Amino acid sequence: MSLFTQPGHASAADLLLDDPRVAGAVSIESATTTGGAGRRHSVRVLPEARWLEAQTRHAAAAASRSLLGWHNTYELDRTVDAGIIPDRRVPDGVEAVTGSLLALPHERVRETGCGDGLLLRELAPHCRSYAASDVSAVSLARLRAWLEARPSLDHVQVLRQAAHETGGTGKASLDLVVIDASAQPFPDVDYLVRVLDANWSQVAPGGHLFLRNVRLLGLQTTGIAAAALAYAPDDMTVAALRQSIHAGWLAQSELALDPALFHRYAGSRGATVSVRLRRGWSVSDPMRTSFDVLLGKAAAGQAGPPPPALLDTVPALRRWLAGPDQGSALLRAQPDARLAGDVATYRLLSTAADSMRAVEVRRLVALRMTAGWPEFHPLPRPALPEARGIDPDAIAALCAASGCGAVILATPHARDGRFDVLVERAGSAGPPRGMQPGLADGPLDDPAMANHPLLLQSLRKLSQSLHNELARLLPEADMPARILPVTRRDQLVLGAPDYDGSWTLTGRL
């Protein structure tokens, strides 16, 4: 029960401090527009640590029970047209995915999270056996109806199972296991590792596990900032934009991960790994801010890939391509041109004055993307290659012109839209797959590896509960525009909190 005092003339922050769930509260006065007509305060609150920890543990237990019992939000798709996806151009990126998977051993395949058959219809005709599982009875019913009309696919087995369940296939018996876009609703890294371990045990030596469409942690808040600026009215202040970004960060409900997590997983399981940026025929936000993971299990006596030559610039790559080296090369940490505008937006909003207007921020972002940058402006002049970035497809084309294969990889720990490129000569053994040895350089439960959706869920519920309590005690005119939970005491008074994509607010990019 809340311990709020009588209303009187107490401020919202004062009232919130009387709640046992709140360890600190500070009002943030700011005009939403430069004219001041939209002046409204928000309140930052610091939850009591033991309460927040208990709430998050409770949410994790509830999520575990839900997953074990298949209580599944995807059942809400009962109103969707029951027809299977028509035979037309497949969605963005799927052609590239299926092409790369069919280049791997694929006689015996299992797909987890198959839905109503997006990947199955491309892969199954080329396989000897194919087990497809999902938790959604609705999706599986549509898939079965589609399969009944195709007797040539009678080798496909359809199972209703959760992602961590692998009944129906023997251990170490599969050439390829596909986990299809299933990680986004996972509650935490612990469950993800449980799913990976269960499915990894099904992979035969020489086989692979493929995890499709993982949200990229380092770009989560960058995307929120870019969207906030895109929809902001011209006279909205930077202070108000930062509050919108904070609210957007709290609203995230999908698991987002650092690519380094999968390098660590591979290193701890003796696997090779390729963490690939998604590519397709659009530059949609999901395509630019997500990745796929390929894990390889060595066959008996099979040596791992040799270490590549390490390169840091495109001119160095050109020299390597023109040289005699027959191995592989890794071009590291290149800025992605597709994300340059979003990264510039985030950096500007992190450093700009509270009173700056959205229209001015947009103008400066445009300048940062071109040769122009006013000498008098207080923000640092960018180096133009950093500002504009490099198109990953241009690097792939450069390599192809030299007869080399290139795999575009997500840079571990990057927070500013960088990518790596693993380049292999056409004469290298096997198809170019961009596989690297795993590196167990840290624990899998490192908090910096994920965004912790369950913690964000607890913070959202606290914000709504506190708002409801205040609404009983304060007139509408005195209500804060937002109640914004933070996770450290120093964040209560920061002028411009920055989000690194993990569960804390940290230093600037």
Q: What is the dihedral of CA 245, 246, 247, 248, to 10 degrees?
A: 50
- Find the mean pLDDT for residues 48-69: 79
Examine residue 5 and state whether it is found in any structural domain, yes or no: no
Q: Are residues 332 and 476 both part of a single domain?
A: no
Higher pLDDT, 337 or 16: 16
Could you tell me if 402 and 326 are in contact, meaning their C-beta atoms sit under 8 angstroms apart?
Answer: no
Q: Which residue has the higher pLDDT, 11 or 92?
A: 11
Rounded-to-integer distance, Cα 175 and Cα 302, Å: 16
Please state, in angstroms and rounded to a whole number, the distance separating the CA atoms of residues 57 and 488.
19
Predicted pLDDT at 371:
54
Q: Rounded to whole angstroms, how far apart are CA atoms 459 and 453? A: 10
Looking at the structure, do residues 57 and 192 belong to the same domain, yes or no?
A: no
Report the C-alpha gap between 159 and 222 in whole angstroms: 39
pLDDT in tens, 345-399: 998 898 889 899 999 999 999 888 875 444 444 444 444 344 578 889 899 999 9
pTM to 2 decimal places: 0.85
Q: Tell me: pLDDT of 503 over 80.
A: no
Q: Residue 176: pLDDT band by 50, 70, 90 thresholds?
A: very high
Contact 108, 175 (CB under 8 A): yes
Q: What is the DSSP pairing of strand 22-30 with strand 256-257? A: unpaired
Note whether 258 and 49 are within 8 A (CB).
Answer: no
Give percent helix, percent strand, percent coil of the chain, each to the nearest 5: 40, 20, 40
Helix (H/G/I), strand (E/B), else coil: 47: strand
Q: Is residue 115 part of a domain?
A: yes
Q: Tokens for 270?
A: 């003796």
- Which domain does 394 fall in, by range? 306-336+390-434
Regarding predicted confidence, which is higher, 413 or 493? 413
Coil, strand, or helix at residue 143? Answer: helix
Higher-pLDDT residue of 72, 240? 240
Question: Please, which residues have CB within 8 angstroms of residue 227's CB and are 6 or more apart in sequence?
Answer: 248
508 Cβ partners below 8 Å, 6+ apart?
347, 350, 351, 498
Do 280 and 184 lie in one domain? The reply is yes
Is residue 65 located within the same domain as residue 82? no
Question: Domains in the chain: how many in total?
Answer: 4
- pLDDT at position 305 is 77
Per-residue three-class SS string for 231-295: HCCCCEEHHHHHHHHHHHHHCCCCCEECCHHHHHHHHHHCCEEEEEECCCCCCCHHHHCEEEEEE
Q: Are residues 139 and 283 in the same domain?
A: yes
CATH code, 497: 3.30.300
Report which DSSP code applies to 380: P
Domain co-membership, 428 together with 330: yes
